[in-house]
């Protein structure tokens, strides 16, 4: 039995190996036909004419993620502080499952909600056709909230109570003890929660596809459409063939490397926190 248990634990290793192998084996041949530099820095995506530049998508992915962070990170961290230090246990008992529910709502439902409510709202209030980076960022901000809240709350709760008591003993108020003693001590945990949120945002596909307009050109403004790396794959994989198909798998490789880098940063921050 021990061998069987060991084997099932090793499936994880096997799966990661297979994913890497197939992704790279199918994506890298593309670079034999098309220069990697032109692929990553090219600003034009025109598969029909054999031009494959994914810079607009790379920029798009980062801009949408940045917008999501701008909105989601403060709200998430402040909500976590509220839940950890200000709200009564009765309020927390309501908020915890609510945040878990927010994490559980499928991305296609988020996308649908965005498409039906946020897109027309934006079109009517701010102009443009509504399918925009703006809506995509708002939607992503909502979607990464639970990740940021849960990680930050755990980090804040892990700060030893003596920090708080020490601060109180120095004559500080409850509020300033929280903001000046506890939150700074939980900083690296909060940052790692935000990094995890970035990873989630960069990888999100369905919801963005439904609201972002998906034009494959350099983003022109916050109310204009945008296409991310993930959307590029999902949108065109259905009908792509030959070099075009390989270029999409290569897009996946670029995305994979970006996500792995973010995960590495996350575990690096976490490890340093444990050492501390």
Partner 1 sequence: MSETGATTPAVDITVPTRPSMHLGSRFLKALCWAAGFVTIGVLLLIIAYILVNGLPEFFSRDEQGTLHFKASLFALKYNSRNLSMLPAILNTLTMTALSLLISVPLGVGGGIYLAEYAKPGSKLVKIIRVTAETLAGIPSIIYALFGMLVFVVTLKMGISMLSGALTLGTMTLPLILRQTEESLLSVPMSYREGSYGLGAGKLRTTVRIVLPVAMPGILAAVLLSIGRISGETAALIFTSGTGTGIAGINDSGRTLAVHLFKLQEEGRAVGASFAVAVVLLIIVVLMNALSSFIAKRLTKKG
By CB under 8 A, tell whether 163 contacts partner 1.
no
Stretch that binds partner 1, among 28-36, 39-47, 77-85, 127-135 (CB under 8 A): 77-85
By CB under 8 A, tell whether 271 contacts partner 1.
no
> Do 84 and 153 form a contact (C-beta atoms < 8 A)?
yes
**Which is nearest to 202 in space by CA: 248, 132, 251, 255?**
255
Contact set for partner 1, span 19-58 (CB under 8 A): 19, 22-23, 26
Region label for 218, one of left (φ > 0), alpha (ψ between -120 and 50) or beta (otherwise) = beta
For the bound state, the minimum distance from the C-beta of residue 90 to partner 1, rounded and expressed in Å, comes to: 13
**Which is nearest to 118 in space by CA: 99, 102, 133?**
133
In angstroms, rounded to a whole number, what is the distance separating the alpha carbons of residues 164 and 132? 44
Stretch that binds partner 1, among 40-48, 186-194, 196-204, 213-221 (CB under 8 A): 196-204
By CB under 8 A, tell whether 261 contacts partner 1.
no
Contact set for partner 1, span 113-142 (CB under 8 A): 113, 115-117, 142
Q: Which of 50, 74, 120, 184 binds partner 1 (CB under 8 A)?
A: 74
By CB under 8 A, tell whether 178 contacts partner 1.
yes
Region label for 44, one of left (φ > 0), alpha (ψ between -120 and 50) or beta (otherwise) = beta
By CB under 8 A, tell whether 6 contacts partner 1.
yes
Q: Which of 57, 68, 83, 155 binds partner 1 (CB under 8 A)?
A: 83
> Do 54 and 42 form a contact (C-beta atoms < 8 A)?
yes
Contact set for partner 1, span 143-162 (CB under 8 A): 145, 149
Q: Which of 86, 120, 162, 165 binds partner 1 (CB under 8 A)?
A: 86
């Amino acid at each position: 039995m021990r061998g069987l248990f060991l084997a099932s634990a090793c499936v994880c290793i096997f799966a990661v190996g297979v994913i890497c192998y197939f992704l790279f084996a199918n994506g890298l041949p593309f670079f034999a036909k098309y220069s990697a530099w032109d692929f990553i820095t090219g600003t034009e995506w025109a598969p029909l004419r054999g031009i494959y530049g994914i810079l607009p998508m790379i920029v798009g992915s980062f801009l949408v993620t940045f917008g999501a962070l701008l909105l989601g990170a403060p709200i998430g961290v402040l909500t976590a502080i509220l839940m950890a230090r200000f709200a009564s246990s009765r309020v927390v008992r309501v908020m915890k499952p609510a945040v878990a529910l927010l994490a559980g709502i499928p991305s296609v439902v988020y996308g649908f909600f965005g498409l039906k409510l946020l897109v027309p709202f934006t079109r009517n209030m701010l102009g443009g056709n509504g399918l925009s980076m703006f809506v995509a960022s708002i939607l992503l901000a909502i979607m990464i909230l639970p990740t940021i809240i849960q990680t930050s709350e755990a980090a804040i709760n892990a700060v030893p109570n003596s920090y708080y008591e020490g601060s109180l003993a120095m004559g500080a108020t409850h509020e300033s003890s929280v903001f000046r003693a506890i939150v700074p001590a939980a900083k690296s945990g909060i940052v790692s929660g935000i990094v995890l949120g970035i990873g989630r945002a960069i990888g999100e596909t369905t919801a963005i596809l439904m609201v972002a307009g998906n034009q494959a050109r350099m983003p022109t403004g916050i109310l204009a459409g945008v296409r991310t790396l993930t959307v590029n794959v999902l949108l065109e994989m259905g009908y792509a063939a030959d070099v075009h198909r390989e270029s999409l798998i290569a897009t996946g490789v670029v995305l994979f490397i970006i996500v792995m880098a973010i995960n590495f940063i996350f575990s690096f921050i976490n490890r340093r926190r444990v050492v501390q």
